[in-house]
Amino acid sequence: MSQAKGLNLTLKIWRQQNAKSKGKIETYQIENISPDSSFLEMLDILNTELIDKGEIPVEFDHDCREGICGSCSLYINGEPHGPGKRITTCQLHMRSFKDGDTIYIEPWRAAAFPIVKDLIVDRSAFDRIQHAGGYISVNTSGNTVDANATPIDKHDADEAFNSATCIGCGACVAACKNASASLFVSAKISQYALLPQGQVEAKDRVLNMVKQAEKEGFGPCSNTGACEVECPKGISLENIARMNREFLAASIS
Amino acid sequence: MSESKGLIKSHLVKKYWMAFTGLFLCLFLVGHLAGNLQLFIPGYSGQLQFNEYAVFMTTNPLIKIMSYVTYFSILFHAVDGLVISIANKKARPEKYAYSKPGNNSIWSSRNMGILGTVILVYIVIHMQNFWYKFKFGTPPHMTAEDGVSPLLQDGTAVKGGIVENGEVMLNGENMGAVMGDLYTIVLESFQNPIIVAFYVLGMIAIGFHLVHGFQSGFQSLGLRNKKYTPIVSKLGYAFAVIVPLLFALIPIYMFIAA
Ligand code: HEM
Ligand code: SF4
Ligand code: FES
């Protein structure tokens, strides 16, 4: 079996020294990249070359490199996590590109996700949204009830689990023309709203998490559906409808 | 511990109103279309029926209330839409250098503000064209089939009557308000191809607005489930094509038929 031919690529990468400085797109040439390498490995190769030349490497977020932590946040060729669907950037491979391609690599763009450096953004706004209501009260004073002792409809359990697969990557925000966090927030609300354990704080949860998202500067939802298409975990717009419903009910009751 | 209730100030509340007024305006469109389709009835009987309908629309108190609700909805929808559009822009101050939004959403959904603005301009000119002329101008009046005797608003012909300031006078006696001839105003307007093109353009904008807007309104209000949402989406699409198309056929028909 012959080795697949290496790719020669032009990279247009957002470079920005720190939160305050003005950034710009820089152009890099990179040669002989194996189609079997991952996108992040390609960036590792670029960085090794930059370091060898005495230049400052490109900073980007990554951790697990297997699609579960949600760190790798790159806007590649006009889409979050690049051209593939249902994958994170770390699961994107260079075989998705052709020899001679130009690839734009940009950070998530949102007022609520300020740039830290180059391609890294500060996503702590998501943490603060979680803190505003993404929890349940459990009595831990010695008489804890076994979670499995509470019967839950199979359908509800599945739906709650689907919502809970959100990894907080922020692709929904990056994809949305309004930088709205509705898909993320609604997934985090739904994972509790669908379970009996989540009922105690249900009302406050939806009110407080929606408000926190707004306070952070995420935009309103225009229902374009871009988030659902770009979400690596396939979180459904159904969650947003549930959030809208619950917020309305919690507001008037 | 809950903060203040949600309804005070929230993007979501603005969206509820957007959806509520938008869907109400969809209902209005159906009513407005049903009335206007009478313009397709040919000859004197069509003219008479449409003008009688115009009398009903301008005098019935219930219609009056509905018309104010409609004006209010349009204004509220437009202002709310502006506020939302500003918030949309504010959430992403720096654009992407390279973006392919067509890969994840339809054009209409990303351009509701532009489409809405076109519709608003259309509505203002449309109102000026017909409603203002009919209400505050000196519109032509409706006559009996003989072409001379003016008709009262209830449809009675006044033989030998003359029209002064919208009132039918017979031998110096006021017989009542005359039936205006909105039909002729409309017919004459649509002899101008530029006006016809403008109306068609306005309807195209409404069509594109509703291709996204109809189902979006349901989603904003949280009205979604696995069984009905596919039906709502298909219905919305059909609505967005059929209603503006029928509206647009009216000026085209009147241009060709006259
Ligand atoms: C016949 C007239 C109109 C109808 C039937 C209509 C209907 C609708 C509907 C059903 C929606 C969806 C609401 C939602 O997303 O929840 C909508 C959204 C919208 N409309 Fe209209 N509309 C009309 C006129 C206008 C006008 C005159 C404007 C502005 C000048 C406008 C601006 C907007 C905007 C900006 C949105 C989207 C808001 C967002 O991003 O969420 N519309 N419209
Ligand atoms: S909803 Fe999807 S795109 Fe948004 S943060 Fe969660 S996993 Fe990422
Ligand atoms: S690095 Fe963890 S999801 Fe990509």
ipTM of the complex: 0.93
pLDDT of residue B135: 78
- For residue B202, give the nearest of B248, B236, B237 by alpha carbon: B248
Whether residue A106 and residue B220 make contact (CB cut-off 8 A), yes or no, is: no
Residues of B in contact with A27 (CB under 8 A): none
pLDDT at B1 over 50: no
Residue with structure tokens 């009905």? Answer: B228
Average pLDDT over residues B164-188: 92
What pLDDT digit, counting tens, does each position of A103-119 carry?
A: 999 999 999 999 999 99
pLDDT at A138 over 90: no
Residues A225 and B105: beta-carbon distance below 8 Å? yes
pLDDT at A97 over 80: yes
d(CA A226, CA B25): 26
Q: CB under 8 Å to A221, separation ≥6 — which residues? A: A176, A178, A180, A182, A240, B11, B15, B220
3-state secondary structure of A103: strand
Helices (H), chain A: 39-52, 124-131, 154-164, 171-175, 182-193, 202-216, 226-230, 238-252
3-state secondary structure of A14: strand
pLDDT at B3 over 60: no
How would residue A3 be classed by pLDDT, with cut points 50, 70 and 90? low
**Which protein residues are within 6 Å of ligand 2, measured from CB?**
A 166-172, 183-184, 187, 231-233, 235
In order of start, what are the domains of chain A with their CATH numbers? 7-117 (3.10.20.30), 124-252 (1.10.1060.10)
- For residue A204, give the nearest of A247, A161, A173 by alpha carbon: A247
Q: Where are the beta strands (DSSP E) in A40-108?
A: 75-76, 79-80, 102-106
Name the residue type at position A41: E
Residue A113, phi then psi, degrees to nearest 5 = -120, 75
Parallel, antiparallel or unpaired: strands B162-164 and A120-121? unpaired
What pLDDT digit, counting tens, does each position of A162-197 carry?
A: 999 999 999 999 999 999 999 999 999 999 999 999
Please provide the DSSP assignment of A160-205 as one string: HHHHHT-----HHHHHSTT---HHHHHHHHHHHHTSGGGSTTHHHH
- For residue B22, give the nearest of B252, B226, B211 by alpha carbon: B211
How would residue A253 be classed by pLDDT, with cut points 50, 70 and 90? confident
Q: CB under 8 Å to A50, separation ≥6 — which residues? A: A28, A56, A57, A58
How would residue B134 be classed by pLDDT, with cut points 50, 70 and 90? confident
Count CB-CB contacts under 10 A for residue B103: 15
> pLDDT > 90: what percent of chain B?
87
> pLDDT > 70: what percent of chain B?
97
How would you label A43-52 residue by residue, b for 16+ Cβ within 10 Å and e otherwise?
bbbbbeeeee
Distance from residue A236's CA to the centre of ligand 2 (Å): 10
Range in A48-62, A133-147, B43-57, B147-161 the model is least confident about: A133-147
Size of interface A-B (CB pairs under 8 A): 148
pLDDT at B4 over 70: no
How would residue A2 be classed by pLDDT, with cut points 50, 70 and 90? low
pLDDT of residue B129: 85
Name the residue type at position A245: R
- For ligand 3, whether the C-beta of A68 sits within 6 Å is yes
Average pLDDT over residues B106-119: 98
Interface test with B, best of A194, A216, A248 (most B CBs within 10 A): A248
Mean of pLDDT over chain B: 93
> pLDDT > 70: what percent of chain A?
98
Average pLDDT over residues A36-55: 98
Q: Who among B7, B88, B109 is closest to A219 (CB)?
A: B88
Q: Where are the beta strands (DSSP E) in B27-158?
A: none
The answer to whether B223 contacts chain A (CB < 8 Å) is yes
Average pLDDT over residues B208-221: 98
Residues A242 and B238: beta-carbon distance below 8 Å? no
In order of start, what are the domains of chain B with their CATH numbers? 11-93+100-140+181-257 (1.20.1300.10), 141-179 (no CATH)
| Dihedral angle sign, alpha carbons of residues A209, A210, A211, A216 | positive
Nearest residue (by CA) to ligand 2, atom 7, is A166
Segment holding B215, helix H or strand E: helix B193-220
**DSSP percent split of chain B into helix, strand, coil, nearest 5:** 70, 10, 25
CA angle B137, B142, B146 (to 5 degrees): 145
Mean of pLDDT over chain A: 95
Q: Which ligand is nearest to the CA of A165?
A: 2
- For ligand 3, whether the C-beta of A90 sits within 6 Å is yes
